[in-house]
Amino acid sequence: MNLDNTKLFLTVKDHSVSQEVFELYYDEANDMLFTSPQPNEEELARYYESEDYISHTDNKRSLFEKAYHVVKSIALENKLNLINKQQPQKGMLLDIGAGTGDFLLTAKNNGWQTLGVEPSPRAREIAKAKGIQFVSHIMELQDHSFDVITMWHVLEHVPDLELQIQELKRLLKPTGTLIVAVPNFKSYDACYYKEYWAAYDVPIHFWHFSKKAIANLFSKVKMEVKQVLPMKFDAFYVSLLSEKYKSGKINYFNAIRVGLLSNWKARQTGMYSSLIYVIQNQKNHF
């Protein structure tokens, strides 16, 4: 992205892998941040090389990881209920960034026809062992072939944001539903932890969204946000990691306090730590 008409917002370290420092720039027109510099495709893989990148493993080594999987099982049911509400007749479901495949497995067992995209070979092999089918790239897929497309904390990882949004528009049926979940850099926990906020996750998070940013980006392809929903557990998960980055250890008491406070404040502001956007094609446009 061009740095013209932007300003430096924050300097953030990659706490997970490289310890390198990156800059976040604020794009006022879209009310969003972007990471600079952004690694190219050849460089990117090494920034994911961490045993702590939990969405690419099924590890349950620690209390933290065990708690993550308990919460994950609740979240899977919530996600299933959401897609069933949007498309009661079910149909074709595409999950981009499917990780180890648990969401697709839950949907498949509920009667959905499922397909996944996942760049991580390790995560993909775990998912395949569960019976999940994959394609290498969404550009292989036919136009207007999916009733629901989901991206659970994936859009922020996509290098070419505009192309990705165009492809989502192309793949979705005229009456289909796109569900996008992303961190919210305007949440209380983001403001509290500042450069230690774990959901910045530089440099693998290229983009950092607000409500206005998501609405603006999708309006360019004649799609609109129909509903915005909270992901309340994320305030606790992100706060736990942020405490670790800030002090070198997990302060459970303070992380829970910040998570509770973030969710309480968001009841008035709507600025939860992460938000789910339910997006559909604008009426009379396809």
Q: What is the pLDDT along the chain (286 residues), one digit of tens a residue?
A: 555 678 999 999 999 999 999 999 999 999 999 999 999 988 998 898 765 544 545 555 565 566 666 777 889 999 999 999 999 999 999 999 999 999 999 999 999 999 999 998 888 999 999 999 999 999 999 999 999 999 999 999 999 999 999 999 999 999 999 999 999 999 999 999 999 999 999 999 999 999 999 999 999 999 999 999 999 999 999 999 999 999 999 899 999 999 999 999 999 999 999 999 999 999 876 5
Other beta carbons within 10 angstroms of residue 265's beta carbon come to 17
- Name the 3-class secondary structure at 172: strand
The DSSP string of 99-158 is: TTSHHHHHHHHTT-EEEEE---HHHHHHHHTTT--B-S-GGGSPTT-EEEEEEES-GGG-
pLDDT at 11: 98
pLDDT given at position 195: 98
Between the alpha carbon of residue 72 and those of residues 29, 55, 68, 118, the distances in Å are 35, 10, 6, 18
Instruction: Find all residues with CB under 8 Å of 12, minimum gap 6, and list them.
Output: 21, 22, 23, 24, 195, 200, 202
Bridge partners (DSSP) of residue 274 are 183
Which amino acid is located at 282 in the chain? Q
Spatial contact of 158 and 97, defined as CB atoms under 8 Å apart: no
Long-range contacts of 4-12 (CB under 8 A, 24+ apart): 5/29, 6/34, 9/33, 10/194, 10/195, 10/200, 11/195, 12/195, 12/200, 12/202
CB atoms near residue 117 (< 10 Å): 20
User: What is the structure's pLDDT at 250?
Assistant: 87
Residue 57: closest CA among 241, 149, 49: 49
* CB-count exposure of residue 59 (10 Å: 0-12, 13-18, 19+): middle
**Residue 269 token pair:** 């502001």
Instruction: Report helix, strand or coil for 260.
Output: helix
What is the model's pLDDT at position 64? 57
**Is omega for the bond preceding 39 within 30 degrees of 0, making it cis?**
no
Closest among 188, 155, 204 to 12, alpha carbons compared: 204
**Chain centre distance of CA 15:** 19
Q: Specify the pLDDT at position 190.
A: 98
Q: Which residues contact 101 (CB under 8 A, 6 or more apart)?
A: 116, 118, 123, 126, 127, 128, 130, 132
